[in-house]
Amino acid sequence: MRSIVIGSRKSQLALVQTYWVQAELQKLHPERTFSIATMTTQGDNILDVALAKIGDKGLFTKELELAMLAGTTDLAVHSLKDLPTKLPDGLMLAAITERENPADALVVNAKHQDKQLHTLPEGAVVGTSSLRRLAQLRHHFPHLTFKDVRGNLHTRLRKLDDGEYDALILAVAGLQRLNMGDRIQQIIPPEISLHAVGQGALGIECRSSDQEVIDLLSGLIHYPTQQRCLAERAFLRELEGGCQVPIGVSSQVSETSLTLSGLVATLDGKTLIKDQLTGDIAQPEAIGQELARKLKQQGAQAILEQITQEFRSVP
């Protein structure tokens, strides 16, 4: 019986997520052996440039995918928000696990421990590497100063605690998975910041021809999360957006329906185009595609073209 090799990035959060998947697979298939192979991705190596300026949608996934295609690993565990909506030929998204809270969180320097976003003083420096977060927060809190921040979670928090930033915007899920939920000062409501596509969920990718691994992964699928994330990813795919574009989402499901909210924003946060759509939970991608078309008709297309042009002109 073949041993299954799981590919993972080397960051602490990535490994926590991969160890969890390994343990769940071992429980489901105690007769099998699951090992882990770690590697560094381009996004891990380039830390002195804003994500949006690098311009590659596979920053945290490409090396993991090449290993699967080469046959040195059998599957890869991703934070789903890092996984491009268009996968390389020969690979597929085989499982989406149950979602943690997908919201964004405010984390503050100790001197602001009595503050929330709306009470931070004018000019307070808030760190984020996400254009999505940046655009929405600029819209609601124009009195704040925003500064790019890169590095793993511990590196970012050290910069915060050393006083380089007054606050950071981070994913609730990442903090909780690293048992750092006590650092969360405020869970930011969707009225202020819609979250990233797939945020809070893990996506497990494998070769589309490897039915043995596909079958092994089927027990990890969480249907409500899967349908929500498929709708969100279809929305993003239809908009052709990556980390260069401020696109946010929120989704809810009942037994039979799925409601998707979506947003496209200008980089300065002055214009937010937002709408929502409810449809059949069994047709998530149709919901995402239709909502994207609605936003395009309301002006999102022009925003996306303008942003693309701006980044093409940056040396």
Residue 114 appears among annotated catalytic residues: no
Nearest to 2 by CA among 188, 187, 156, 213: 213
Contacts of 231 (CB under 8 A, 6+ apart): 251, 258, 260, 284, 285, 287, 288
Longest dimension (CA), the chain: 62
Closest CA to 33 of 15, 10, 7, 6: 6
Task: Determine contact, residues 140/274, Cβ cutoff 8 Å.
Answer: no
Helix (H) or strand (E) holding 233: helix 223-239
Here the tokens at position 270 are: 């002055």
Residue 115: CB partners within 8 Å, gap ≥ 6? 108, 121, 167, 185
Helix (H/G/I), strand (E/B), else coil: 41: coil
Two tokens, residue 281: 């939970």
CA distance to 4, 115, 270, per residue, from 65 (Å): 15, 42, 38
Angle at 277 between CA 276 and CA 278, to 5 degrees: 135
- 109: which residues sit within 8 A by CB, 6+ positions away? 160, 161, 163, 165, 166, 167
Which one of 74, 82, 104, 166 is the catalytic residue? 82
Catalytic residues: 82
